[in-house]
Amino acid sequence: MAFKKYNDQPISEVLQELIAKNNWKSKLYQNKVKEIWVLNMGKTINSYTKEIKLRGKKLFISIASAPLRQELSYSKTKIIDLINGELGEEYITDVIIR
């Protein structure tokens, strides 16, 4: 993507080009996914969540409780839909709960 020569481009387009050019999307989404998780999962699930990592388009979630881990594994599709809905695009393709 080449930047336009004149200042007639909206700032949102400039930022999107900059993010795409420097491959920052995964880094930005890493923080955003953590925020989405905290806001949508509630205090109980957050208290058992040890780690959330985004590698490529896979989301890795570490849960301290085995029963909760099992319950969340049944809801992988819902988790993917929730996070992708908040991100505004189909970015997450798989959730691995450990």
pTM: 0.80
Q: How far apart are CA 88 and CA 46, in angstroms?
A: 23
Q: How far apart are CA 39 and CA 32, in angstroms?
A: 11
Q: What's phi and psi for 2, nearest 5 deg?
A: -100, 140
- pLDDT digit string, tens, across residues 11-56: 888 888 887 777 788 888 999 999 999 999 999 999 999 999 999 8
Fold type of domain 25-97: GMP Synthetase; Chain A, domain 3 (3.30.300)
**Domain spans of the chain?**
25-97
**Tokens 């109980």, located at residue:** 44
